Amino acid sequence: MIKTESLAIDQTQLVKAWSDAMPTVLNLSDRVEVKADEADANALWVNIQTEGRSLYSFDFKCVYKDSREVKVEFIDVEQDGVHVNEQTEIIQTLIEDYVRHIHECAQQLHAVTHH
């Protein structure tokens, strides 16, 4: 079992830092909500909602493997509150984009999360 190093910031501060930083890496029309994972102090839940006609809502789990690297896991996508097939090309492209944006955000916060 690999020991996860603890972060230099507590989870409440981490959620605030992510909440402030995520909008800077997303499209202006996208909305984001970041929440703490109650079961894991090194994990966050990121919900991204697209604006416009599509009304997609994406859920990701973001786990710090160490103070520099995050593992991003796609959890679910809904359209206007209804689960949709995530295998379509447009949704796969959006998932890839959002995973990249989440990694960008983690890089921006490196100074906050690293000892």
Query: Do the domain assignments include residue 75?
Result: yes
Query: Do the domain assignments include residue 3?
Result: no
Query: Do the domain assignments include residue 1?
Result: no
Q: State the pTM of this model.
A: 0.91
Q: Give the chain's domain count.
A: 1
Please write the tens of the pLDDT for every residue from 9-26.
Answer: 889 999 999 999 999 999
Q: Which domain holds residue 58?
A: 11-113
Please write the tens of the pLDDT for every residue from 47-103.
Answer: 999 987 788 999 999 999 888 789 999 999 999 889 999 999 999 999 999 999 999
CATH at residue 73? 3.30.310
d(CA 85, CA 64): 28
